Amino acid sequence: MEELRPLLLSIAYRMLGTFGDAEDVVQEAYLRLHREPDVVSPKAFLTTVTTRLAIDQLRSARRQREQYFGPWLPEPAVDEYVDLADRAALSDSLSTAFLVVLERLSPDQRAVFLLGDVFGYSYDELAGILCKTPASCRQLAVRARRRIADNRPRFDASPHERDELVRRFTAAAQEGELDSLVELLAPDVTFTGDGGGKGGFPRPVHGAGNVARLLIGAFGKFRELTTEPVHVGGQPALRIHDHSDRTVAIWSFVVVEGRITAIHGIVNPDKLTHVQPSGHHAQPSAHHVQPSRHADDER
């Protein structure tokens, strides 16, 4: 049954946005399976239990996140910390920007959207997992897609163009070139930082000028640190680490029409344990995702 763990971790992480909670949910699902010797389909059982536990956990976590200091961001799924066998399967459903959009959905909407549109489950399968009718699942999916369509980040640049833009961004920020940096940012760019009360960024910063000044100040503090290009869910990012290779920040970027439109910076050390050199094993597999079978529902 262990071959199912990557799939289950992928579902749980996308539901919860945290690796530790995802692993706990999946482990509990396996424990329940071992207590049910007569299960006919272990995959269906494990997927159902994982999803239901994740929904319950998400409801509880949302109440806790209301007390969180500053913006709450999901733990970054850094591609370079996924096993090579899984890297080809990475998709933008693991990007920080996309997971932030998923936070706008109810737990049931999130489950239906992820299982249906990302993992390819049918409405009949969703109905069994969520104890709802197929029609109810269809309605949840339509509402979820509409909300996502209004907020989903666009990734219209090629990987090379995105990486090159972030390289120029890094050079301008490190050199303190305000005008050059502003040129790389969209006028309405937003920087959202998650320090969890252990770092700066108590609220988002808006506008190219404001964000550029913030970034130059931040990079001034990074002079003793090393900046390394990485990717989060296939999108460009920076891993910032100290002389001992300890990760102190992950910044991920959204690039649209040749400019950076959003930056998500995670400096809360509790959210960076899985991107430390000794913590590669904590990264859930991206797992292969299926195209949506429900594309006609909104027509």
Tokens of 4: 């199912």
The per-residue pLDDT for 157 is 75
The per-residue pLDDT for 91 is 61
The per-residue pLDDT for 121 is 96
Distance CA 257, CA 154 (A): 9
Nearest to 292 by CA among 117, 91, 140: 117
Those residues of the chain that have pLDDT short of 50 are 83-90, 279-292, 295-296, 298-299
What lies within 8 Å, CB to CB, of 99 at 6+ separation is 14, 17, 74, 233
CA distances for 251 relative to 12, 157, 231, 254, 264, angstroms? 23, 18, 9, 10, 5
Give one DSSP letter per residue of 150-196, joined into a string: HHPPP--S-HHHHHHHHHHHHHHHHHT-HHHHHHHEEEEEEEEEE-T
The per-residue pLDDT for 205 is 96
The per-residue pLDDT for 111 is 98
Written as one letter, the residue type at 10 is S
Nearest to 168 by CA among 154, 182, 156, 155: 182
- 20: exposed, middle or buried (C-beta count within 10 Å: 0-12, 13-18, 19+)? middle
Please report, in angstroms and rounded to a whole number, the separation of the first and last CA atoms in the chain.
Answer: 39
Tokens of 89: 């399967």
Query: Domains in the chain, ordered, with CATH?
Result: 2-154 (1.20.140.160), 159-281 (3.10.450.50)
Distance CA 22, CA 53 (A): 10
| Paired strand residues for 88 | none
Distance CA 209, CA 136 (A): 46
The per-residue pLDDT for 52 is 98
- pLDDT tens track for 162-211: 999 999 999 999 999 999 999 999 999 999 999 887 776 789 999 999 99
Residue 52 parent element (H or E)? helix 42-65
Distance CA 70, CA 79 (A): 26
